Structure 1
Amino acid sequence: MKFDIIPTNSAKWWKEAVVYQIYPRSFKDSDGDGVGDLKGIISKLDYVKSLGVDAVWLNPIYASPNDDNGYDISNYREIMSDFGTMEDFDLLLQEMHKRGIKLIMDLVVNHSSDEHEWFKQSRSSRDNPYRNYYHWWPAEKGTPPYRWSWFDVDSNAWKYDATTDSYYLHYFSEKQPDLNWENPTLRNEVYDIMKFWLDKGIDGFRMDAFQFISKDNNFPELPTEILNEPIEIMKYYGDGPHLHDYIQEMNREVLSKYNIMTVAEGAGSSPSEAMKFVDPDRKELDIAYHFESVEIGNHIADFGLVKYKDIFSRYDTEFKDKGWLAIFLANHDQPRMVSKFGNDSPEFREISSKMLSTFILTMRGTPFYYQGDELGMVNPRFDSINEYQDIDTRNKYISIKNKGGDLQAFLEAQKQTSRENSRTPFQWNSTKNSGFTSGKPWLKLNPNFETINAEIQEKNQNSVLNYFRKLVQLRKENLTLVYGTYTLLDRENPNVYAYTRRLNDKKILVLLNFTDQTATYNLNFKLGKHEVLLDNYNDFEKVENCQLRPYEAIIIAY
């Protein structure tokens, strides 16, 4: 039952939703080949439903040679054979909807695979009808202006192709050539692909790398002072002159015709830029998914909690009256939430996991929650490069090796930062391979699966898993946590993140200790006079006024 009154013109199902991200390769394998698949997901939909979530964001399942784990698509209308068939997909969608779960799919159209038929045709000759589907630079014009490649750090993002004596652009892997959105025929192809999936009944798209679809096609030389600063280079890579024109066209041609949610990944380089994607008056997308809060550093201690609070507060100020944000601490491209922002030691893993979940589920915005974080899964901390499959880690390793660099130092850093940290198979139980597969897992499991898994936590009412369920239910029962205004309190406190959510005459206070020590908060507030809605220590009577135990989280109605 929902007790709060909200303005009817503000209510949207995607604002009230809790989104659960499934990385299909690592969720559940049904056929013993070691790779998660669609039938595996179907077999675990009752578990997903039990979490209380409203929607699933599913990482790419399209046909792909798998150079970048499915983000290199060779056919947008087929399912990758590793994952199953289109019949399996249709059944998955049917079974999700039967349980009241919506499905959000990745839309990966900044680039395709070099094995897509479009690119095969495009590279075959300069006068091929598909030539202009991609960015080409004829060799007679000289070497194209340098562009740094995300996955090939020592190479130019322009790859020479002898067939037509030209270079093609790839911001990511050389097997991921960038699509040319300047071409209206290409854009219409994309819109048809979107309609294909929407007509099947999916409930929205998460737009991958969307800030890059529009480029300055003159490709001016980069200023020399920023060549070694990838964050600065990004400003020259995307946000092209027609970015928002294309998105508005997409809205007119496709999005406005369906009751769906759309999410802009990497939306802008600032709150005001992010707003442009989701300002309702502009008729573009719905939810801005920015990276500033997860790319700030490798651990809270590296940058300080005050700076972290300021990021969320700046964005909330910009989005106070219109637009909408995604709130998240982890995904398939980030380390495990508790290993980065909490404390994954045996002493504090559970309590800090609960604290971080409290943060995600009580902030203003749509929560995006990554699979396994509801168990408090941690970074596996692989010791050998042979244990990594990710193109990003492996290419960087090769680069350092070729330069005679410190490979051991690199591997040590990857234990904290690699994308592979979040991609180890889901830990279902204590049996062989943690119940993920009967075969050899595509990626090594974290050996702690015997003590950290869903089956064990199901039986423990105080587990990280069951605390997450309580949080989701609390959010659904208190729309103040969805639509209420956010006000930061005690800003300069280096240990405690405190804020209120307020809707009409209802107020909720959230207190979060981000440290492994007892912390004091500076508020004129007596806990004993108010209702504690949830506390991650589960012993309200031990709470001391103005003090929080290590990683304590308290939600209070007042």
Structure 2
Amino acid sequence: MAQTSNVPWYKQAVFYEVIVRAFYDSDGDGHGDLWGLMHRLDYLQRLGIDCIWLLPIYPSPLRDDGYDIADYYNVLPTYGSLDDFKALVKAVHQRGMRIITDLVLNHTSDQHPWFQAALADRNSPYRDYYVWSDSDRKYKDARIIFLDTEKSNWTWNEQAGQFYWHRFYSSQPDLNFDNPAVRAEMLNVMRFWLDLGIDGFRTDAVPYLFEREGTNCENLPETHAYLKELRRFMDDNYPGRILLCEANQWPEDVRPYFGDGDEFHMGFHFPSMPRIFMSIRAGDASSLIDILDRTPAIPDNCQWCNFLRNHDELTLEMVTPEEREYMWREYAPEPRMRLNLGIRRRLAPLLDNDPRKIGLANSLLFTLPGSPIIYYGDEIGMGDNIQLFDRNGVRTPMQWTGGLNAGFSDAAPEKLYAPLIDDTGYTYRAVNVAREDSDPNSRLNFTRKLISTRKQAPALVRGGFTWVQPGQNPALAAYLRATDEQSVLALHNLSDQAQPFAFSLSHTGVVRDLLDAAKDFPVEGELRVSLAPYEFRWLELP
């Protein structure tokens, strides 16, 4: 199905998250780079990707994989140059795809020249680029996000003679958005990258931009006012580009980030993600049904983004304490599998490397309302390495072949930025693009099929959403996606037992199985099917 011109492109797109350092090394230094990504664009095009999301490529000490920025106006030399980036954008657009990059508003690296100038001179104009205090008791109602590494949101600096504020690592001081110069600087950063041709930004950690005493310093009115300013700037100067919101909040708290269609174009649906895993493990759709029923309507020009995994831990912030304990017990029995309030595992290990469960989760990803995002390597079933620091275990080199360095790099193995996955069941010798590309029944080709089928089904891309018989059989997640031209019934058996399903139809005709034409069947009055354990079906109704 070609994209419909009267529907915004981002509402029809399949996104793909790429860590440049992890994707492909073109110059043999052990680190992925922009030219390496360029060499692999045909792979992404064939997969069916519409838009690539790049994690930060800015100059950085890489204490937080690039989210600690030392220069907003350049590229980390290990990755290439601004000219390389321009070439990448051109190559992406030539293939009919789009590209967005990370915009990290909330904080910089402590190595950024702004912060270094602020430390050196209290009278420097850059001192007011950051948030300072003589006490570490201000904003005491703000939660600590990185519980495993940070004991406070304040860190004392001897040179500065004050505490500075940081919502994440102490190496990432927060910018002071009460300062008009900071707000103007971020508009300049946006202009710089948009002028290079990118199609928008995934905007990092937006709930935390402003601080106010007596609040939890999240989702403040001042934050929304500034974000609307960013949107006006983009709409006025770069129509057709997008802002994607990263706000790890409950659905009703994310809803204001869409505004009246005048703030963010898109937002991640964080709470639905852990509930997909919870529902599959419990064999019960109740938690997923509840969170989607709790999700408020959003403006017509806005869109949710759905995902199963990404570069961070599988966050369990937006679940109840009881649900968090359940998820840790079921999915992270070993202490090293846990990080902060989450789980540092990839998709395949989380789901026991069971193709039925992985397929089931992906079916939910591609049929629930919203635009799906695939994390690099999940389409082939990559594993993880929980022995690596922090979240690095889910950021290992992409596995292209079963040969030297998984085809990722020609460097000596000890020079790779991270070790390859070589565990039983996930070794790069067996789990790689080359091997799966030639196997019609592989996970890679299955993912391609899901994407291509979704693109050809207008109901799955832009149709309405209605639960079918919610709660009648807790083991089933059944819903109808419908447009004027098509109705698709998405059925998911979340349990390890066969489940019957019956549904009255007002039309007689043939029910088409969109994933397997051999399973088409006639129907008159009532649709009846039996779903095998963890089976899912996409049924186009007559």
**TM (normalized to structure 2)?**
0.84
Aligned partner of 2:19 in structure 1 is 23
Of all paired residues, the percent bearing the same amino acid is 34
For the pair 1:311 / 2:291, whether they are aligned, the reply is yes
1:357 pairs with 362, 365, 374, which one?
362
**What does 1:138-537 correspond to in 2, within 5 Å?**
138-139=134-135, 143-146=137-140, 148-151=143-146, 153-216=149-212, 218=213, 220=214, 236-258=216-238, 259-266=240-247, 269-279=249-259, 281=260, 283-295=262-274, 299-300=278-279, 301=281, 304-315=284-295, 318-319=297-298, 323-333=302-312, 334=314, 335-340=345-350, 342-344=351-353, 348-349=354-355, 351-378=356-383, 380-382=384-386, 387-390=387-390, 419-439=391-411, 440=413, 441-447=416-422, 448-492=427-471, 493-524=473-504, 529-535=510-516
Q: How far 1:527 sits from its partner (Å)? A: 11
Query: Structure 1 residue 389: deviation in Å?
Result: 3.0
Are 2:531 and 1:548 equivalent residues in the alignment?
yes
From the two aligned structures, give the one with the greater helix fraction: 1
RMSD: 2.7
C-alpha separation in 1, matches of 2:396 and 2:155:
32
| Residues 466 and 154 of structure 1: CA distance in aligned 2, closer, same or farther (over 3 Å) | closer
- CA-to-aligned-CA distance 1:235-289 (integer Å, 9 cap, x gap): 713112301110111122334321201101116x33333222224x351110011
Deviation at 1:319, TM superposition (A): 3.2
SS across alignment from 2:191: helix
CA contact (8 A) 1:124 1:164 kept: yes
Deviation string, structure 1 residues 364-383 (Cα, Å, up to 9, x no partner) = 111111111211223x354x
- Deviation at residue 542 of structure 1 after TM alignment: 11
SS at match of 1:375: coil
Match of 2:328 in 1: none
CA offset at residue 70 of structure 1? Answer: 0.4
Given that 1:106 and 1:205 are in contact with CA atoms closer than 8 Å, whether structure 2 keeps it comes out as yes
Contact 2:35/2:88 (<8 A) preserved:
yes
Q: Evaluate the alpha carbon distance shift between residue 298 and residue 501 of structure 1 in structure 2; reply closer, same or farther with a 3 A threshold.
A: closer
- SS of 1:359's equivalent in the other structure is helix
1:191 match: secondary structure = helix
Mapped to 2, the partners of 1:64 and 1:527 lie a distance apart of 62
Greater Cα shift, 148-157 or 175-184:
148-157
Tell me the SS of whatever aligns to 1:197: helix
Whole-Å separation in 2 of the counterparts to 1:505 and 1:127? 65
Q: Quick one: distance in 2 between partners of 1:61 and 1:176?
A: 16
SS of the counterpart of 1:254? helix
The corresponding residue for 1:90 is 86
1:110 and 2:91 equivalent?
no
**Structure 1 pair 381–121 and aligned structure 2 pair: CA distance change class (3 A):** closer
Residue type of the partner of 1:496? L
Shift of residue 553, structure 1, vs aligned partner: 1.8
CA distance in 1, matches of 2:45, 2:283: 37
Q: Distance in 2 between matches of 1:511 and 1:78?
A: 47
Q: Is the 8 A contact 1:30 1:36 kept in 2?
A: yes
CA distance 1:74–1:521, change in 2 (3 Å): same
> What's the counterpart of residue 64 of structure 2?
68
* Residue type of the alignment partner of 1:244: H
Measured in 1, the distance between the counterparts of 2:98 and 2:540 equals 30
Structure 1 CA distance, aligned partners of 2:17 and 2:176? 29
Give the equivalent residue in structure 1 for 2:338: none
Stretches of structure 2 lacking an aligned partner (at least 5 in a row): 315-344
Mapped partners of 2:217, 2:172: distance in 1: 15
Q: Report if aligned partners of 2:25, 2:31 keep a CA contact under 8 Å in 1.
A: yes
CA distance in 2, matches of 1:199, 1:290: 29
Query: Which structure 1 segments of 5+ residues have no match?
Result: 221-234, 391-418
Instruction: Give the whole-Å Cα distance in 2 for the aligned partners of 1:522 and 1:193.
Output: 55
Mapped to 2, the partners of 1:527 and 1:236 lie a distance apart of 56
For residue 534 of structure 1, give the secondary structure of its aligned residue in structure 2. coil
Cα 1:45/1:263, change in 2 over 3 Å:
same
Contact (CA 8 Å) 1:296, 1:303: kept in 2 or not? no
After alignment, is 523-532 or 502-511 more displaced?
A: 523-532
Q: Which deviations, in whole Å up to 9, do the C-alpha atoms of 1:9-49 show, x marking residues without a partner?
A: 6x101111111111112111222222221121111111011
Give, as a single letter, the amino acid of the residue that structure 2 aligns with 1:21: E
Do the aligned residues in 1 keep the contact of 2:194 with 2:200 (CA within 8 Å)?
yes
Q: Cα distance 1:296–1:502, how it changes in 2: closer, same or farther (>3 A)?
A: closer
What SS class does the counterpart of residue 177 from structure 2 fall into?
A: coil
Q: Deviations over 1:209-244 (max 9, x none)?
A: 01111221x3x4xxxxxxxxxxxxxx7131123011
The count of residues paired between Structure 1 and Structure 2 equals 493
Change (3 A) 1:76 1:501: same
Query: Are the structure 2 counterparts of residues 542 and 37 from structure 1 closer, same or farther at C-alpha, using a change threshold of 3 Å?
Result: farther
Once structures 1 and 2 are overlaid, which stretch shifts more, 126-135 or 354-363? 354-363
Match of residue 9, structure 2, among 13, 18, 29 = 13
Q: In 1, are the aligned partners of 2:512 and 2:519 still within 8 Å (CA)? A: no
- Is residue 149–residue 170 contact of structure 1 (8 Å, CA) maintained in 2? no
Name the CA shift for 1:389/1:25 in 2 (closer, same or farther; >3 Å).
farther
Amino acid at match of 1:389: F
CA distance in 1, matches of 2:429, 2:35: 24
For residues 49 and 373 of structure 2, what CA distance do their matches in structure 1 show?
10
Judge conservation of contact 2:385–2:394 (CA < 8 Å) in 1: no
Equivalent position of 2:322 in the other structure: none
Q: Does residue 134 in structure 1 map to residue 130 in structure 2?
A: yes
Mapped partners of 2:193, 2:483: distance in 1: 37
User: Deviations for 1:437-457, whole angstroms, at most 9, x for unmatched residues?
Assistant: 223332222222222211111
1:292-342 residue CA offsets vs partner (Å, 9 max, x unmatched): 123559754269431023223432x523856321111111113323433x4
Q: Distance in 2 between matches of 1:374 and 1:527?
A: 37
